[in-house]
Amino acid sequence: MTHKGATYRGRHDAIIDRKTFEVVQQQLTANTASRRSPTNANAPSLLTGLVYDETGDRLCPTHANKKGRRYRYYISKRLMHATDSTAGGWRLPARELEGIVLQTVRDLLSDELRIVEVLQLNGVLPDHLRRVIGNVAAAANELKDASPERQRQLLSTLVDRIILHATLVHINIKRIGLIALLAEPDLGAATGTKELFSLVVPVSLKRRGVEAKLVMRAAGGRRSSPDKKLITLFADAHRWIDDLAERRAISLRDLARRYHRDVGEVSRTLPLAFLAPEIIEAILDGRQPIDLTPRRLKRMGALPCLWDEQRRRLGFQLR
């Protein structure tokens, strides 16, 4: 025991034995080393230097820390030092924007007919064409599976500029970069001379919160990935309904105690088990409206019984 700089021998028996203590210390040291490894390093911003808004202002990468978690954004440069709180600009979650750009570029590389059109390969010999298409497919796979550092390198080779508009994103692709990526220098001389071509992605944007953050989704309800928190919410609702039906639990309070949840949370979650199957299917596919969040679902009040009313209230397109 240490007190006022002096150390005194403890008089009680040890709580744990020395051997167990040493084993635990070794495990803690090993875990610390793992957390410091490159695999857990902060993810790089893939689109640094590539993204601009409709005014020509570049978007810069930034981040915020909340409860130990790091959230990355792209923000208009003019907002980084803006003194006017009403100044217009963009603040986009980095993961959403990067996901749309990666998916759009991969879709291009996976579209053989589009590649033939873009590179003007109609007159290329069949063997050469097959080799080019094979290289394109390999590039698409690499862009999907590569490390963030390699993804950033590939995007820098392919993308000249990404321009954000209210309902569209223009991704300007460097034709010469595509040729370089395919390791086919002869294509530059054999085909046309157009330097850039544009991929146009319709988007839906919605402001959320007092900080006017923007959530980005591809138009038509398409998302870069399903919302795991929403899926977990539905899983809880169906699990708890099954527990009540099979008498594994007999009340809301019993469910709350069983799953270490608040009774109010259980009561707000249970009705979600009775949403229309099409709504649940859309959420599993990531096709829900952009403002449909777990918080909104749990606080929507009484759930309509009619499925069409559910779709209307939650913002789904009626059939």
Mean pLDDT of 106-134: 83
Q: pLDDT tens-digit profile of 272-297?
A: 999 999 888 888 887 777 667 888 88
Residues 187-212: b if buried by 16+ CB within 10 A, e if exposed: beeebeeeeebebebebbbeeeeeee
The pTM of the full predicted model, rounded to 2 decimals, is: 0.58
Q: pLDDT tens-digit profile of 157-211?
A: 999 999 988 788 899 999 888 888 877 666 654 444 458 888 888 877 665 543 4
Phi, psi of 205 (to 5 degrees): -120, 140
The DSSP element (H or E) to which 173 belongs, if any, is: strand 168-174
Find, among 277, 261, 256, 268, the residue nearest to 303 by Cα: 268
